[in-house]
Structure 1
Amino acid sequence: MQTTPSATTAETKCLFVTLGMLVLDELHSYGQNPKVNVIGGSGVYACLGARLYLPPPMSHRLGWLIRTGDDFPHTIREYFHSWNILLLETRNRGQLSTRGELIYQGTTFGPKTFRYTTKPLKIEPRDLIDTPLLSSSSIHFLTSPVDAIDQIPQVLRLRHSRGIEEPLTIIWEPAPPSCISPNMAACFEAVELVDVSSPNYIELAALFDVDLSDEERFDPAIIENLAHKCLAHGIGSSKQGSVIVRAGREGCCIYSRKRKALVWLPAFYLDSSRIVDPTGAGNAFLGDLLKAPVLWNGAIVRGRL
């Protein structure tokens, strides 16, 4: 196993880090030939979203650690280096890169299925040890609630053991397969550890045994009610955090206990006919979110909405 940093100096103070993965997807769309080596994974798009608000030289304060195998395309590696970020790569000799198969089930970008076709090379908190990424001021997770309950305290302990006491903003995306009603208690435990919890609306509904997979039956009132239930439980150690429910083409629903306010923000895109594939849009949105200078007249993290 070999770790290779980008040219950026190790002393760089990070503003944003994601523990999301890098996945090489095989993409199947209805009536089209499969596309291979499609860049995917929550880490890719969260990093990309943050990069939109951090042009050079500030982009060097955006940290990302990727794990790759022997088959990782050199062209993709060079593409990531062109982002001018603090990129750390761990090359896992004798292993394949993380690969997945994504299948859209209809002619729209609605219902889809995903499976890993190789063993996932996950990023763990211990991978941040002795890197400038550990001291980042914000961090993004996409995990199951069980993993969040395990990993977030690990990150905090590692920071404390190295004398890093600066405030940390944590945003958590529940892993879609884990959003089922038997995991509700674990999800409520996990949100107590974060500043922002952000499921998409279908995942949030599934957690409460509500089926919202039919896009034609989209009902904002149902989403608002479910968001209220999450907020009533309390997000963050002070219970002042926020829930942001991503709703695709309908935008997002942001709810904060401190402000006692709920707001819908519309989706933003220039020309829907140019959208090739919306995969990763929600991850990118959350990367934007942590680094956007202004959103709804103020910060939405750490209970300040």
Structure 2
Amino acid sequence: MSSTKAFVTLGMFIIDDFSFKDADGNPTERTIGGGGTYASIGARIWLPPTEIGMIVDRGYDFPTDIQQNLLNYGDEMWLFRDNPLRTTTRALNSYCGELRGFEYTTPRIRITPKDLEGTPLAKAKILHFICSPNRASAIMAEVEEGWNPITVYEPIPDRCIPEELPALQKVLPLIYILSPNAEEALSLLSVPLPPTKETIEKAADEFLVFGVGPQNSGWVVIRSGGMGAYIKSQGTQGKWVDAFWTSEATEKIVDVTGAGNSFLGGFVAGMVLCDGDIYAATLHATVSASFVIEQEGLPAFDKGSPAAWNGDSPLRRLEELKKRHEIRN
């Protein structure tokens, strides 16, 4: 097996604190978080840990139970950077009724391609990042000469506004996979919400007109929740891939936090396993997201043979999803 990682994310590791305000008080729960973490687990559902890489900045307060949880997924995945002078990055997710707030409670440590140099994560085949369009340009400027990774760009939600569209257009020729969710895609393009399949398809076309990837070779993958995912490239007919758990499966959809990140991790894994087939990659992505939304936090992993996630087989779900599409078509 090559020593080069198949997939590396520049997303951060975060300890998420959850605060729920109701008549019973204000308890706080702690769990593993961060878009990079969810993307890595989405990939891990399909790939061995030796093929995945992520930097975890470990402060002096790093909890031992979280450390053990991460190692259970495979210690080869994580590159721990210790700093005894600072805390681990934390964020507060606050809920009051249906309203949700999110804020960082410690300073963020952003990860860039320069941080990968001289480590086992250097020159990965596929590079994933979650950020603003301007920061995406800065990231691509740091990709060293001689390294030409497949880039998977996930725009950060609060920068998916019309004012960011010029900066996005600037970086798109360097991006192989552009993947906003449906609301983010429409917001960037000043299209009224809520999304419909028609407006999502038109949004994908508009992004492609701007030029995605070198010589317009890239793809737009719009993650659309219960509607599924829409994929399209220049000169191809767009395709929809159904969500594994539809909005009717209310007993299965517990918490959608990290679903989009894990989708893209599974997407990357599908690209690796299926020689770049984007449709097949989207099927893998959909299955990865299905495991993440079944509980709060990360899915349970059983190392047995065969490995099981939440007590179920990813391959079984993949075959079920394929059959659904075969019957429909």
With structure 2 as the length reference, what TM-score do the two structures score? Answer: 0.76
- Higher mean alpha-carbon deviation, 60-69 vs 13-22, is at 60-69
Corresponding position of 1:282: 260
Identity %: 33
Structure 1 residue 140 corresponds to structure 2 residue 128? yes
Structure 1 residue 121 corresponds to structure 2 residue 112? no
Q: Deviations over 1:177-203 (max 9, x none)?
A: 111111110011122111000011111
Corresponding position of 1:79: 69
Q: Is the 8 A contact 1:67 1:122 kept in 2?
A: no
Could you tell me which of 269, 293, 296 is aligned with 2:245?
269
AA aligned to 1:73 is P
Corresponding position of 1:247: 224
Instruction: Tell me by how many angstroms 1:63 deviates.
Output: 1.2
SS in 1 for 2:232: strand
Q: Is the 8 A contact 1:30 1:105 kept in 2?
A: yes
- Structure 2 gaps of 5+ residues are 283-329
Q: Is the 8 A contact 1:141 1:173 kept in 2?
A: yes
Q: Is the 8 A contact 1:26 1:38 kept in 2?
A: yes
- Higher mean alpha-carbon deviation, 112-121 vs 221-230, is at 112-121
Tell me: CA distance 1:211–1:22, structure 2 relative to 1, closer, same or farther (3 Å). farther
SS in 1 for 2:60: coil
Give me the whole-angstrom Cα distance separating, in 2, the residues matched to 1:193 and 1:248: 27
- Higher mean alpha-carbon deviation, 217-226 vs 41-50, is at 217-226
SS in 2 for 1:269: coil
Tell me: CA distance 1:296–1:97, structure 2 relative to 1, closer, same or farther (3 Å). closer
The aligned runs of 1:1-305 (5 Å cut-off) are: 12-28=3-19, 31=22, 34-54=27-47, 58-84=48-74, 85-104=76-95, 106-107=97-98, 112-155=100-143, 157=144, 160=145, 164-165=146-147, 167-212=148-193, 217-259=194-236, 261-269=237-245, 272-292=250-270, 293-294=273-274
Corresponding position of 2:317: none
Q: Is the 8 A contact 2:266 2:281 kept in 1?
A: no
Give me the whole-angstrom Cα distance separating, in 1, the residues matched to 2:201 and 2:21: 32
Instruction: Tell me by how many angstroms 1:22 deviates.
Output: 0.8
Q: Is the 8 A contact 1:17 1:64 kept in 2?
A: yes
If each structure's helix is expressed as a fraction of its own residues, which one has the higher value?
A: 2
Tell me: CA distance 1:185–1:297, structure 2 relative to 1, closer, same or farther (3 Å). closer
- Structure 1 gaps of 5+ residues are 1-8, 301-305
SS in 2 for 1:140: strand
Instruction: Tell me by how many angstroms 1:29 deviates.
Output: 5.2
Q: Deviations over 1:79-107 (max 9, x none)?
A: 11121133211112221211112235654
TM-align CA RMSD = 2.3
Q: Is the 8 A contact 2:60 2:87 kept in 1?
A: yes
Tell me: CA distance 1:103–1:220, structure 2 relative to 1, closer, same or farther (3 Å). farther
Instruction: Tell me by how many angstroms 1:299 deviates.
Output: 6.0
Tell me: CA distance 1:239–1:112, structure 2 relative to 1, closer, same or farther (3 Å). farther
Q: Is the 8 A contact 1:67 1:123 kept in 2?
A: no
Q: Deviations over 1:33-75 (max 9, x none)?
A: 5443221111110000100111xxx321211111121211111
Tell me: CA distance 1:92–1:129, structure 2 relative to 1, closer, same or farther (3 Å). same
Give me the whole-angstrom Cα distance separating, in 2, the residues matched to 1:105 and 1:73: 27
- Higher mean alpha-carbon deviation, 278-287 vs 126-135, is at 126-135
Tell me: CA distance 1:152–1:92, structure 2 relative to 1, closer, same or farther (3 Å). same
